[in-house]
Amino acid sequence: MSTRNNLLIAGCYAGTLVLGMILGPKFQKENSNSRNGTFIPFLTGGRDGKVEKVISLIRDNYVDPVNVDSLQDLTINELLKNLDPHSAYLPPVDARLFSEDLEGNYNGIGIEYHLLNDTLLVTGVNKNGPAAKAGLSEGDRVIQIDGNNIAGKDITNKKIVELIRGRRGTAVRLTIRRAGLKAYKTVSVIRDKISVSSIDVAYLLTKDVGYVKISRFGAHTDDDFIAELERLKKEGMKSLVLDLRENGGGYLSAATALSDQFLGEKKLIVYTRGAHEPRTDYFATPEGKFEKGKLVVLINENTASASEIVAGAVQDLDRGTIVGRRSFGKGLVQEQFNFGDGSALNLTVARYYTPSGRSIQRPYDEGPGPYFEEVWNRHKNGELNSDRKHLMDSLYKKGRIYKTASGRLMYGGGGIMPDVYVPIDTLGYNEMYFALNAKGVLNDFLYNSLIREHAPDSLDEFVKTFTLSPGHYQQILALASAKGIKYNPGLFKVAERHINIDMKAMLARYYFGELGFYKVLNSTDNVVSRSLALLK
């Protein structure tokens, strides 16, 4: 029996050997001619192994050269498409720029610029920055950066930032064209740490009403705000207009710290909760610097995330009045996970809820619908009949409507619905106006002509008296014609008011910085004027 078993085993081995000798060359030939290579790792590896193997095969066998890193990024982005719209993969450059913007400092040269006809025009120079020390001045046109031509190229702001920023202490060479000089001039600027305030502008709208504009919530927003708040108080401020329009968010900690300045001790500011994150409550401390004065918060459709935390807390706790248009509706908390190559993953880990329990996050694929917004606005105006009031009661029970601390009803279908709604002023924003902007006519006119005519001494006098003349409008029309824009007298006449405001604001920015820019815009802003009326 033992001998028979041994002979059977030996026969199997011999058969396998013969089969291998016959089929081996065939498989070897197929393998060497195959663009796919061996399939064994696909059978033995996990999902991660499959992804890496496919990328490896493409890198080693594809007919054309391929950037393998871009394939890895694509794979990650494809995965993230199955999640929420705000979870995102950031390549190394994007991750660095994202972090620098929120941290409020970066290594650069300290200039403000505008892209004019694919040319970088210097519109502002930090007085104590590296560019000023190297001799750059407003009005210089940058032709090259470290030998890279940017004039006449399809250059983007992102590309310019990548070229100008770099390691502290390193030099960047700028080739510039300056008015009055025939030859180009090359300037070497040593990069240094540049600190940028989180506050766009802060000044008094009236003798006792302050205005503070914040466009992002960074690492130093709270400290910057306190400094400006104390200055405005010394100048006589009693009430405050906080402008969070166009504020896309930032650090959660910065939003809670700013909210703390307005709320009494132990007031709930916001809480967060996720499938893997237990509920975390954020409370106000006794350190608030503006807990008593009248407060108005301005929001619009681009007010999102961290800025909605502030608006939601102020509204829920009846601390102030929200004015403007409904906010974006991004009630998600992202945590950044860094990879070893400088890239990062911003992954949504929780939702945040206002003190009354509202989740501000809109549905990813749809809003609450115009019908409900119409009902809501009519409800606030006292125009609903008994049937519609029954609908409001039903929505309240379903969690679509919430109550403030004093019992006022609030909309909870996504975003922050303002207490005072101010519709956008669309009159004058027509085809002619958009064409002039899209083809750079207004920018050309401003930087090629208008700034050479005016050198105002006083900002207040400029705000009161400056206006475009009929001759200025004729120059604009001549530039428009040269760029193929068809003249429509009726549309142009209606758009003149907005053209005048735009030119005035940008000219004020050129000579007086952000203070000049916002003073001009706010002087004709319906939302600001409505806020001042409320504060009276």
Question: Which residues have a catalytic role annotated?
Answer: 305, 316, 330
Q: Are 50 and 42 in contact (CB under 8 A)?
A: yes
* Burial track 204-242 (b if 16+ CB lie within 10 A, e otherwise): ebeeebbbbbbbbbbbbbbebbbebbeebeeeebebbbb
Q: Rounded to the nearest 5°, which phi and psi values hold at 334?
A: -105, 140
- Whole-angstrom Cα distance, residue 85 to residue 97? 20
Contact 200, 222 (CB under 8 A): no
Q: What is the DSSP letter of 251?
A: -
Q: How far is CA 52 from CA 128, 290, 346, in A?
A: 50, 55, 22
| Of residues 456, 496, 505, the one with CA closest to residue 472 | 496
d(CA 296, CA 243): 8
Residues facing 283 on adjacent strands? 268
Residues 6+ apart with CB under 8 A from 395: 372, 401
Alpha-carbon dihedral sign for residues 189, 193, 197, 203: negative
Phi, psi at residue 187, to the nearest 5°? -120, 130
DSSP H stretches of helix in 91-207: 92-103, 130-134, 157-164
- Identity of the amino acid at 415: G
Evaluate whether 241 touches 324 at the Cβ level (below 8 Å). no
In degrees, rounded to 5, the angle at the alpha carbon of residue 369 between the alpha carbons of residues 365 and 374 is 160
CB distance 19 to 40 below 8 Å: no
Asked whether the beta carbons of 410 and 417 are under 8 A apart, the reply is: yes
In whole angstroms, give the CA distance from residue 297 to residue 244.
Answer: 7
In this structure, are strands 268-274 and 199-204 parallel, antiparallel, or unpaired?
unpaired
